[in-house]
Structure 1
Amino acid sequence: MASEINGYGKAVEAIKAAILQAQYAAAKSTNAQQLRLYYAIGSFVSDNTRCGRWGSGALKAISEQLQREMPGLRGFSGRNLYYMKTFYEEWSNSICPDGVSSHSFAVATAKSSADPDLSILQSQLQNLQDGSREDFVSIGFTHHCLILTCTKTLDERLFYIHKCATEHLSVEALKRSIKADDFHHQGKAPNNYLATLPRSQQALRAINAFKDEYLLDFINVEELGVRDAEDVDERVLEQGIVQNIKRFIMTFGRGFSFVGNQYHLDAFGVDQYVDLLFFNRDLNCLVAVELKRGPFKTAYLGQLSGYLRVLDDYERREHENPSIGLVLCKDMNRAFVDYIIQDYNKPMGVATYKTSVDMSSELLDALPPIDGLKALLEGDGD
């Protein structure tokens, strides 16, 4: 074993030099430097494992020697070195489709320690659109690992990277977003926003604010005292949402604030009650949500349109935009909803939802355990 460790001495020295250089520049841009370091180490590890110079025990041996030579070092277990290799290989393949090789690790580590240059990753990111470059280096390595593990296409990965960067998602929140398949549902709810909102920019923001399906997996029917899933009605759903309003807002999207449930409207002496009322800061408007336990019915749009008229005339403030409505139902014929909703002059959309009772055990277990992802960068095992 001793001879094997000694055989990796040069590798340990190269990685150690890169670590020290990155630590020197950490105060200026900690996360970006960390990602560049991991990408550079991943390139180095990939080159040596791919060509067969290193055997199956190499990463563990290198990690153990690094720990001895740099006591207290965290995040460089054999397992994490493998994640760095994956990080490099996945992204070098994704953003260098023409096969252009990255800068060598040796060049990166040979730079002056007074001005360390670990911009291997940044040079590769020039192939991405401008916004994606800033998003990429602003989220943590654990987020990147989760995205790489659970998604396959470049567009999907860039979507979740942007979502993490702009909404400051925790790892738990990112896991929920991926499980809800937000990439395939965002901005696709049937709606009439372009025809009913006064400005196209406002309409486009509204379109992107809502999904065509919401995963309400935090609603546990048994805990709410309902024995049969078929007995789940609007009030039961509402109760589950209100009890978990923070989770619902995170599911609903960025910029939403909860105003109230069963919100009382009184116009001409007629009492009406909105199931859930929100305010969206990005849209600068009230958002009324009507919960329906069954499939979509045309009458739901008429009911919601009436609520929006009263909200605009009696509740909306002078500086606010027109109120928006959303019908949240169990199922819908999308083509029919797209067809029928255009006859209404109040801005509305329709989306469906799923609860935990609708999810198979395979889907619930599809994502990797969060404990394993939290262990990243902790150096607790190989």
Structure 2
Amino acid sequence: MKPINTEQNATEEKLYTKAISIVDTGRQKIVEAIYSESTKSYYLLGKLIVEEEQGGQAKAEYGKQVVEGLAKRLTLRYGRGFSKSTLKDCRSFYQKYDLGKSQSLTGELNFRLSFTHYTYLIRLDNEEMKFYEQYAIDNRLSVRALQKAVQNFVIARVTEGSKALSTTEIKPKDIIKDPYILDFLGLDESQHTDEKVLEHKLVEHLEKFLLELGRGFAFVGRQYRLTVSEDSFYADLVFYNIPLKSYVIIELKTRKLQHQDLGQLQMYVNYFDQEIKDINDNDTIGILLCRDKNEKVVEYTLPKNNKQIFASKYKLYLPSKQELEDELEEQMMLNGIETKTNKENT
């Protein structure tokens, strides 16, 4: 017999999660409509400048005159927002952006980010620009969050060996990062942190933590009570991933992972699968978020066909690009994926 309070809690959380999805989707469509029209106007300004410059005789000097003259007149008419640097960004935006990718099925220009997003994106190389544009759309990133994602070298951490998020055939392993970067917590890497403090900080900075987790995560609760007969257990953090239609349990360990930790998490996952999730939910996912881990301990503890339990490290500082690349390569080697280093050594 299922505990009544647990069933009621789960039902309320599912209703809340679905309500969030409806409201957020509606608001996002409004934002995207505003972005589309506003960004399109800057794109067309860039097109106008490029076409005018191409019609001039001495292109470099004439182009400078076009931008300076237009900036002055537009600023007099509309005020701020049309400086020389802005119009140069408009020009670069038009020149670099993939026109075909910005068009809808009807042939209309359809931008889903603000012009400020694109002024940052056009400074990246083509591959990174395409990746981070889609990443920003999928995760609804602000410009500041987009800049942070680039600095964190997210392109190397999102799905091992893959550089794009897919909305089709997504698997649990596709949402897992290793490591998770928690530099926004303001905790000292050199000092030991109590697990309760780490949990409190993550909830305090929940919006930033959701961003680091990735797309489609909704917060369900902290210290989620699991009642087994007369015994009670508490899962540190519980989320629901909307694209996967799965509950995600995160257990925190501010020390090196031990095999017993994975057994504890496995019990929580099994409980959710049997007592909480309904017929429309997929299998529950468990993430053991730890200070450090021995990959072999993880390998020998979890079954070979494991698709639900994952162990990831966290870092309280922003690693260098080289550190993240090394971390990614190590993870790829452990999963039997050929790396650039492997190729060079063969």
Give the Å deviation of 1:161: 1.2
Q: CA, structure 1 residues 204+58, in 2 after alignment: closer, same or farther (shift >3 Å)?
A: closer
Which residue of structure 1 aligns with residue 144 of structure 2? Answer: 172
Which residue of structure 2 aligns with residue 59 of structure 1? Answer: 67
**Are 1:251 and 2:209 matched, yes or no?**
no
**Are 1:302 and 2:263 matched, yes or no?**
yes
Correspondence for 2:230 among 263, 269, 274: 269
Give the Å deviation of 1:295: 3.6
Q: Kindly provide the CA deviation profile for residues 262-290 of structure 1, in whole angstroms up to 9, marking residues without a partner as x.
A: 22222243332211111222222211001
**Are 1:155 and 2:97 matched, yes or no?**
no
Q: Kindly provide the CA deviation profile for residues 232-277 of structure 1, in whole angstroms up to 9, marking residues without a partner as x.
A: 1322211100112222122212222222222222224333221111
Which residue of structure 2 aligns with residue 90 of structure 1? Answer: 96
For the 8 Å contact 2:192–2:254, the answer to whether it is kept is: no
For the 8 Å contact 1:59–1:81, the answer to whether it is kept is: yes
Q: Kindly provide the CA deviation profile for residues 125-166 of structure 1, in whole angstroms up to 9, marking residues without a partner as x.
A: 26x9999x99972222111112223x32x2321122112333
Which residue of structure 2 aligns with residue 36 of structure 1? Answer: 43
Q: CA, structure 1 residues 168+275, in 2 after alignment: closer, same or farther (shift >3 Å)?
A: same
| Secondary structure in structure 2 of the residue aligned to 1:159 | helix
CA RMSD of aligned residues (A): 3.8
**Are 1:142 and 2:116 matched, yes or no?**
yes
Instruction: Return the alpha-carbon distance in structure 2 between the equivalents of residues 353 and 130 of structure 1.
Output: 39
Moved more, 319-328 or 165-174: 165-174
Q: Kindly provide the CA deviation profile for residues 195-236 of structure 1, in whole angstroms up to 9, marking residues without a partner as x.
A: xxxxxx9973323323222222221227xxxxx832213222
Give the Å deviation of 1:327: 1.4
For the 8 Å contact 1:296–1:330, the answer to whether it is kept is: yes
For the 8 Å contact 1:264–1:272, the answer to whether it is kept is: yes
For the 8 Å contact 2:67–2:84, the answer to whether it is kept is: yes
Which residue of structure 2 aligns with residue 236 of structure 1? Answer: 197
Q: CA, structure 1 residues 33+257, in 2 after alignment: closer, same or farther (shift >3 Å)?
A: closer
Alignment of 1:1-382 (within 5 A): 30-31=37-38, 33-41=40-48, 43-44=50-51, 47=54, 51-54=59-62, 59-68=67-76, 71-72=77-78, 74-91=80-97, 122=99, 125=100, 137-149=111-123, 151-152=124-125, 154-188=126-160, 204-221=170-187, 229-332=190-293, 337=298, 341-343=302-304, 345=306, 347-356=308-317
Instruction: Return the alpha-carbon distance in structure 1 between the equivalents of residues 46 and 159 of structure 2.
Output: 33
For the 8 Å contact 2:172–2:308, the answer to whether it is kept is: no
Instruction: Return the alpha-carbon distance in structure 1 between the equivalents of residues 61 and 159 of structure 2.
Output: 48
Moved more, 38-47 or 160-169: 38-47
| Secondary structure in structure 2 of the residue aligned to 1:137 | coil
Which residue of structure 2 aligns with residue 193 of structure 1? Answer: none
For the 8 Å contact 2:43–2:94, the answer to whether it is kept is: no
Give the Å deviation of 1:185: 0.8
For the 8 Å contact 1:180–1:214, the answer to whether it is kept is: no
| Secondary structure in structure 1 of the residue aligned to 2:273 | helix
For the 8 Å contact 2:172–2:307, the answer to whether it is kept is: no
For the 8 Å contact 2:259–2:297, the answer to whether it is kept is: no
Instruction: Return the alpha-carbon distance in structure 2 between the equivalents of residues 156 and 308 of structure 1.
Output: 36
Instruction: Return the alpha-carbon distance in structure 2 between the equivalents of residues 202 and 79 of structure 1.
Output: 40
Partner letter of residue 61 of structure 2? R
| Secondary structure in structure 1 of the residue aligned to 2:184 | coil
| Secondary structure in structure 1 of the residue aligned to 2:275 | helix
State the identity %.
Answer: 28
Instruction: Return the alpha-carbon distance in structure 2 between the equivalents of residues 290 and 243 of structure 1.
Output: 17
Structure 2 gap ranges (5+): 1-32, 162-166, 324-346
| Secondary structure in structure 2 of the residue aligned to 1:271 | strand
Instruction: Return the alpha-carbon distance in structure 1 between the equivalents of residues 63 and 281 of structure 2.
Output: 64
Instruction: Return the alpha-carbon distance in structure 1 between the equivalents of residues 94 and 300 of structure 2.
Output: 47
Q: Kindly provide the CA deviation profile for residues 153-205 of structure 1, in whole angstroms up to 9, marking residues without a partner as x.
A: x232112211233333222332332233222111239xxxxxxxxxxx99733
Q: How many residues align?
A: 282
Instruction: Return the alpha-carbon distance in structure 2 between the equivalents of residues 169 and 329 of structure 1.
Output: 26
